[in-house]
């Protein structure tokens, strides 16, 4: 994986996104419904694209929003839509387009009372709060965000009444309805002019910030953080939660410093990721150089991605890798949440660290391993059978003190504040807690990288079954299992995972690029990890020849 010369540095002005052109293309360019790459496509996190590439334009949002209106009518969802947007440049025009269609369909939509930005977890909280105890008039939500993707990208997600990401049984229907509308030149789309939509009686204000901040006392031990005087640094990274930290600090009396409240839709303040692109990925040390710069000034510091569903935690030791923090958080939470069900499980994705398996076993908790995608944790968080659900990409959520659901979507705010609670209650920051886990369970070495893939190779990976995998050894160890379905729910992994006693690898084809992703981990050391990667690439090549 070649590291770009701009990695870890801010970009020169000439390489920043041309915002006027980006917005102009949103309205002026039309996708070709006959081109597969330009149709609506819901991946694990909704429809994403860029107006430059005719993959995220006004016509896409008109079609998707109408499709959501049609879907919810057929599904009997007749409560309000909670709608929020992040700080990406395409989010605001897409928000306006969606509002026009929702108003045109007579759907009640609740938007931020201050006209600001709304984090993903605040929308999930609002949905759950409205639906609690109801059997009718259920609410759902729309999130306009491409998550941590580059500044030229846009994204559009639908959350059903469960409050979490929609599963494929829902997104597949919405996608097909939207593409049919695109193919029909938008015949059937009902909309009002934006000015009329804003004044429509169905468009109503909602205090997302106040309701979210007020509820935090039910999920984080904020008095303990205050009493311990934990010194906290927060870099909002110009994201949708920028206006949330000051009310949190004021309401709960925290020693919390906001290092910058600037919102810049070019994200010029960000340091570039490994490939030279601006990407608000809080797990990347290249992208998080500004956050890492806080490590010697605070007990803990944190930042979140643009829609606030991914967290980045910094301690005096530096940026904590996501798998390390998930392991430490699980160890702490299941020992300090007596209100949770005694059988509440630990949820993890199949490509997360096996350290989590060892921590769960040490706690005497059931481990549930699911495919990539937070949607697989939603039902368990709703009914309390999952105490925690987390992804290797730094996204997680967990239950309230009383064992009820807090957010059924990823919540970077509570994961960030948890790092301060851990420090306050244990006297150790999360990095120190993790070092204790390695002393007990061994030290894993984990890495993810991309490898080139032909269309045939990607197709093979997606259809590969254990019976078609002929190899018996990986990096000098006997292969103990080959999986193409998740152990917990028997859902397809979208690739293959190969396990030995001392390590594993997983290979999944990219849905948008000519690469496949290799995740690998070793408990035998860095050299052994390198052998796993070498063997994994060799196996995939041999299978595809």
Residues taking part in catalysis: 147
Residues 482/540, Cβ–Cβ less than 8 Å: no
Q: In what order do the strands lie in the sheet with 153-159?
A: 42-43, 46-50, 153-159, 140-144, 81-85, 109-112, 203-206
What are the two backbone dihedrals, phi and then psi, of residue 101, each rounded to the nearest 5 degrees? -75, -40
Q: Say if residue 19 is exposed, middle or buried (CB neighbours under 10 Å; 0-12, 13-18, 19+).
A: middle
User: Among residues 75, 104, 69, 88, which one has the least CA distance to residue 26?
Assistant: 88
Packed helices 412-426 and 430-441: angle between N→C axes, nearest 10 degrees: 80
Residues 452/537, Cβ–Cβ less than 8 Å: no
DSSP alpha helix (H) spans, 263-370: 289-292, 322-333, 355-363
DSSP string, 388-446: EEEETTTEEEE--TTSS-S-SS--HHHHHHHHHHHHHHHSS-HHHHHHHHHHHH---EE
Q: Cα–Cα–Cα angle for 360, 365, 367, nearest 5°? A: 65
> Residue-wise over 409-422: b if at least 16 C-beta within 10 A, else e?
bbbbbbbbbbbbbb
DSSP alpha helix (H) spans, 303-411: 322-333, 355-363, 378-383
């Amino acid at each position: 994986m070649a590291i770009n010369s701009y990695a870890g540095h801010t970009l020169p002005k000439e390489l920043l996104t041309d915002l006027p052109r980006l917005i102009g293309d949103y309205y002026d360019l039309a996708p070709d419904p006959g081109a597969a790459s330009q149709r609506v496509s819901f991946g694990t996190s909704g429809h994403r694209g860029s107006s430059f590439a005719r993959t995220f334009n006004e016509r896409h949002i008109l079609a998707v929003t109408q499709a959501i209106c049609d879907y919810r009518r057929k599904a009997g969802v007749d409560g309000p839509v909670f709608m929020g947007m992040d700080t990406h440049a395409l989010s605001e025009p897409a928000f306006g387009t969606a509002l026009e269609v929702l108003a045109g369909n007579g759907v009640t939509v609740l938007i931020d009372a201050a006209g600001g930005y709304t984090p993903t977890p605040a929308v999930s909280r609002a949905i759950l709060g409205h639906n609690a105890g109801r059997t009718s008039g259920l609410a759902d939500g729309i999130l306009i965000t491409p998550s941590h993707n580059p500044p030229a990208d846009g994204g559009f997600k639908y959350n059903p009444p469960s409050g979490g990401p929609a599963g494929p049984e829902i997104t597949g229907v919405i996608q097909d309805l939207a593409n049919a509308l695109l193919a029909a030149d938008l015949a059937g789309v009902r909309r009002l002019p934006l000015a009329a939509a804003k004044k429509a009686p169905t468009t109503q204000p909602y205090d997302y910030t106040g309701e979210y901040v007020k509820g935090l006392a039910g999920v984080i031990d904020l008095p303990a953080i205050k009493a311990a005087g934990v010194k906290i640094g927060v870099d909002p990274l110009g994201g949708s939660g920028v206006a949330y930290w000051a009310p949190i600090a004021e309401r709960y009396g925290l020693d919390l410093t906001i290092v910058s409240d600037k919102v810049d839709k070019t994200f010029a303040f960000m340091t570039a990721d490994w490939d030279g692109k601006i990407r608000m990925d809080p797990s990347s040390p290249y992208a998080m150089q500004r956050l890492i710069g806080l490590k010697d000034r605070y007990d803990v510091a944190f930042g979140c991605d643009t829609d606030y569903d991914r967290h980045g935690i910094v301690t005096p030791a530096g940026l904590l890798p996501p798998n390390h923090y998930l392991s430490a958080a699980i160890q702490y939470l299941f020992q300090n949440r007596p209100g949770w069900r005694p059988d509440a499980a630990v949820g993890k994705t199949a490509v997360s660290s096996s350290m989590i398996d060892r921590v769960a076993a040490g706690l005497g908790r059931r481990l549930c391993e699911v495919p990539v995608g937070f949607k697989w944790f939603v039902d368990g968080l709703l009914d309390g059978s999952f105490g925690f659900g987390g992804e290797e990409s730094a996204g997680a959520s967990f239950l309230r003190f009383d064992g009820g659901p807090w957010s059924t979507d990823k919540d970077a705010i509570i994961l960030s504040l948890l790092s301060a609670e851990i420090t306050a209650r244990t006297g150790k920051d999360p990095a120190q807690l993790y070092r204790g886990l390695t002393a007990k369970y061994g030290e894993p070495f984990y890495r993810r990288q991309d490898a080139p893939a032909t269309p045939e190779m990607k197709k093979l990976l997606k259809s590969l079954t254990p019976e078609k995998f002929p190899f018996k050894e990986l990096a000098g160890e006997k292969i103990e299992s080959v999986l193409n379905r998740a152990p917990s729910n028997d859902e397809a992994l979208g690739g293959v995972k190969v396990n030995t006693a001392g390590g594993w690898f997983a290979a999944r084809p990219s849905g948008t690029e000519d690469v496949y992703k290799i995740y690998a981990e070793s408990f035998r050391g860095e050299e052994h990890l390198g052998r796993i990667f070498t063997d994994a690439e060799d196996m995939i090549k041999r299978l595809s020849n």
